[in-house]
């Protein structure tokens, strides 16, 4: 058995998320009675059925610490979350003395140990939609966990879009972050993210910018929305975030050069510097911005002068 364990451990070093090998190794550990923080995997799984929420919390924390090797706990975690959901109308979700939310710990454990199963996805969507989570902690955790499913979470898009318009700004931010991780094929989320740009909460707006930035390389609608918002918003953090998103696109953001050049004239040196850096990353298409960059060399701020000079030199040498 020891040889089998060592062989699997060596294979997992090259493929650490191979679920089939993880299951085989966890079962071998169980047979040999390997101890994980004072209990075997099976003993921790049995503790999920405890009537004491503190014991359930301890098991969830243990699975989070054990990591993907605790993949055999995925189904039991789904079942305990389903049971707690069924009773959520009768009681508020609990916190421990340190403020750790029980459902949140269970969700985070599921995110780590699940192989992105349909059952895991289904229970996370139900948690996201749960109207009896008055504190909102479990809904936020579920929204963030769905991001780990990537394109496999496309079935959760309607629920995530609803969460994006919720009254809880933290849930809105979590939904925006996850929507941005669903991949460029999920273009139906773009209109909802564009609407979120006008949200009264700055954090929601910035999360929407980050998500749209992930779509902007493949989708004109997202790219154009960022340019429009850059030209109209007076929020300097939002401006800076958009500029950075455009810079990450490199030469593919060449149509943003006029808007970025205009930002070089902003009164805020942080915006000026961010725009110069973005133009530098865009490269050769930014040569039309060189005259304005040269004007900024008269700035008395040493850092601004250095960034402008660096941008001019790199843009001039790009594609040479």
144-202 residue pLDDT tens:
999 888 777 888 999 999 999 999 999 999 999 999 988 666 788 999 999 999 999 99
Handedness of CA 95, 58, 122, 84 (dihedral sign): negative
Terminal-to-terminal C-alpha distance of the chain: 62
Contact 180, 190 (CB under 8 A): no
Q: Which long-range contacts (CB under 8 A, 24 or more apart) does 43-52 make?
A: 44/70, 44/73, 45/72, 45/73, 45/76, 48/73, 48/76, 48/77, 48/79, 48/80, 49/80
DSSP annotation of 208: H
Give the three-state DSSP class for 48. coil
95-143 pLDDT, tens digit per residue, is 554 445 888 999 999 999 887 889 999 999 999 998 877 678 889 999 9
**How many angstroms separate the CA atoms of 100 and 57, rounded?**
9
**How many angstroms separate the CA atoms of 145 and 138, rounded?**
10
Residue with tokens 């916190």: 95
DSSP annotation of 198: T
Contact 101, 138 (CB under 8 A): yes
pLDDT tier for residue 285 given thresholds of 50, 70 and 90: very high
Which residues sit opposite 36 in a β-bridge?
39
219-240 pLDDT, tens digit per residue, is 999 999 999 999 999 999 999 9
Of 181, 237, 255, whose CA–CA distance to 212 is shortest? 181
Of 213, 237, 214, whose CA–CA distance to 227 is shortest? 213
At 18 the pLDDT is 58
Of 145, 159, 143, 156, whose CA–CA distance to 114 is shortest? 145
Query: Quick one: angle between helices 118-128 and 74-86, nearest 10?
Result: 30
**How many angstroms separate the CA atoms of 36 and 53, rounded?**
20
DSSP annotation of 18: -
What global pTM score does this model have?
0.85
Mean pLDDT along residues 10-21: 56
């Amino acid at each position: 058995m020891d040889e089998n364990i060592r062989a699997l451990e060596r294979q997992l070093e090259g493929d650490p998320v191979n679920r089939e090998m993880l299951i085989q190794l966890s079962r071998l550990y169980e047979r040999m009675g390997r101890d994980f923080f004072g209990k075997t995997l099976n003993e921790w799984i049995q503790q999920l059925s405890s009537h004491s929420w503190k014991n359930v919390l301890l098991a969830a924390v243990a699975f989070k610490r054990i990591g993907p090797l605790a993949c055999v706990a995925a189904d039991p975690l789904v079942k305990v979350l389903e049971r707690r959901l069924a009773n959520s109308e009768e009681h508020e979700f609990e916190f421990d003395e340190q403020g750790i939310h029980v459902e949140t710990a269970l969700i985070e454990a599921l995110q780590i140990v699940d192989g992105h199963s349909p059952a895991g996805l289904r229970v996370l969507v139900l948690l996201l939609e749960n109207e009896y989570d008055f504190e909102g902690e479990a809904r936020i955790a579920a929204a963030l966990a769905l991001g780990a499913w990537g394109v496999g979470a496309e079935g959760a898009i309607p629920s995530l879009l609803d969460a994006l318009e919720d009254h809880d700004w933290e849930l809105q931010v979590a939904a925006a972050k996850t929507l941005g991780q669903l991949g460029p094929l999920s273009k139906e989320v773009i209109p909802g993210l564009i609407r979120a740009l006008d949200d009264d909460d700055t954090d929601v707006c910035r999360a929407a910018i980050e998500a749209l930035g992930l779509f902007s390389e493949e989708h004109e609608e997202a790219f154009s929305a960022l340019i429009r918002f850059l030209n109209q918003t007076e929020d300097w953090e939002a401006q800076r975030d958009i500029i950075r998103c455009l810079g990450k696109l490199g030469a593919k953001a060449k149509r943003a050069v006029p808007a970025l050049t205009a930002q070089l004239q902003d009164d805020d040196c942080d915006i000026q510097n961010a725009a110069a850096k973005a133009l530098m990353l865009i490269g050769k298409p930014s040569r039309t911005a060189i005259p304005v960059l040269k004007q900024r060399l008269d700035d008395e701020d040493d850092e601004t002068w250095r960034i402008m000079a660096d941008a001019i030199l790199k843009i001039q040498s790009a594609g040479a």
